[in-house]
Amino acid sequence: MKRFAITGYGKPHDVFETITDQPREITPGHIRVAVQAFAVNPYDISLRSGAQQEFRSLKFPYVMGNDAAGIVTEIFPGETDFAVGDRVVIHPISGTYGQEVVLPNKKAAKIPETMSFPKAASIVTTGITAYNLLFELLQVDSSQTVMVLGASGGVGSLLVQMLHQNKNHILASAAQKNEAKIKNWGADEFVAYDTASPAKTFFEQADIVIDATKGSKSADLGLKILKPGGTYVALNELPNPADRKDGTYLSFAPKKEYQDQTAFEYLLNAYGDGKLVVNIAEVLPFELRSVILAHEKIAGHPAAGKIVIAQS
């Protein structure tokens, strides 16, 4: 089977290679899935560059990727949760950049007939993160005013929509060009960070500030918008302790006790009910050069929306 691997840390065109792997044997509690679409995340860019070496050392060739959707091609005898032919979304620990993955069945969920594989692949890390941040870490209350910084992003776009479903008052910021989409997803108020002053308009209005920008670009802004005593959550770096005002400061990270099935159930039901829009920027062909291109684009500041690689 064909897979897109990195042979070391470095620039995309230097380290990505197509490899042929033998299919893995299937063990109890696992399913085999033929990948139809996989999404690329900002984390993949940092993993490939070597920025994560200190925390996670890789054995090369390494096939990265956590977000995909596909078709079940084999189940372990006696398996009842899935059947061969099921269309599924999957969240394995690695290996979605390729034709096939074997993974624990608790890391998969059936998708609605109306959902395309690229759309399903686009709500894996983004959707699970948004769900766990709001409903597990924060246990957000609908009376709270929430500021989403990076509201146009993969995670931010889903935070806005989930908060809207939850009836929160939502303040949002992103680039001006993304205003219409973000309001459409349910933001009550929007101020662009590149043409106006969200800090001035939203000064000390938010009970909760979520910094969902890539690489925590908005700490100064977030601190000004936070009410004294409020809660500040970052997907990356928290503001410098010396700059913080009175409040609770939380760094979001995945935890063992967060169950993918719970998040998938919420996301897939919302999608099936027409209450979740999945923002895709580009669907690229299932080729090595698409993987390289996706990594090059995401390392910069691409148009809002997921970049997905899909079988034709």
Ligand X SMILES: NC(=O)c1ccc[n+]([C@@H]2O[C@H](COP(=O)([O-])OP(=O)(O)OC[C@H]3O[C@@H](n4cnc5c(N)ncnc54)[C@H](OP(=O)(O)O)[C@@H]3O)[C@@H](O)[C@H]2O)c1
**Shortest Å distance, C-beta 292 to ligand X:** 18
Q: Which is nearer to ligand X, 220 or 273 (CB)?
A: 220
Per-residue buried b or exposed e for 33-63, using 16+ beta carbons within 10 Å of the residue's own CB: bebbbbbbbbebbebbbeeeeeeeebeebbb
**Shortest Å distance, C-beta 158 to ligand X:** 8
Q: Which is nearer to ligand X, 131 or 193 (CB)?
A: 193
Q: How far apart are CA 108 and CA 75, in angstroms?
A: 12
For residues 114 and 275, the answer to whether their CB atoms sit within 8 Å is: no
Q: Which is nearer to ligand X, 77 or 300 (CB)?
A: 300
For residues 114 and 272, the answer to whether their CB atoms sit within 8 Å is: yes
Per-residue buried b or exposed e for 108-132, using 16+ beta carbons within 10 Å of the residue's own CB: bbbbeeebbbbbbbbbbbbbbbbbb
Structure tokens, 284: 């690229």
Q: Which is nearer to ligand X, 178 or 290 (CB)?
A: 178
With tokens 């679409």, the residue in question is 37
Per-residue buried b or exposed e for 275-289, using 16+ beta carbons within 10 Å of the residue's own CB: ebbbbbebbbebebe
Q: Which is nearer to ligand X, 41 or 96 (CB)?
A: 41
Q: Which is nearer to ligand X, 33 or 219 (CB)?
A: 219
User: Closest CB to ligand X belongs to which residue?
Assistant: 153
Q: How far apart are CA 183 and CA 161, in angstroms?
A: 10
**Shortest Å distance, C-beta 286 to ligand X:** 21
**Shortest Å distance, C-beta 225 to ligand X:** 13
Spatial CA neighbour of 168 closest among 154, 155, 193, 185: 185
**Shortest Å distance, C-beta 295 to ligand X:** 13
**Shortest Å distance, C-beta 306 to ligand X:** 7
Q: Which is nearer to ligand X, 102 or 147 (CB)?
A: 147
Residues 6+ apart with CB under 8 A from 220: 199, 239, 243
**Shortest Å distance, C-beta 19 to ligand X:** 26
Binding residues for ligand X (CB under 6 A): 41-43, 125-126, 129, 150, 152-156, 174-175, 178, 193, 212-215, 217-218, 235-236, 252-254, 301, 304
Q: Which is nearer to ligand X, 99 or 126 (CB)?
A: 126
Cα 246 off chain centre by? 30
Residues 6+ apart with CB under 8 A from 65: 38, 40, 44, 94, 95, 96, 97, 98
**Shortest Å distance, C-beta 281 to ligand X:** 9
Q: How far apart are CA 239 and CA 245, in angstroms?
A: 10
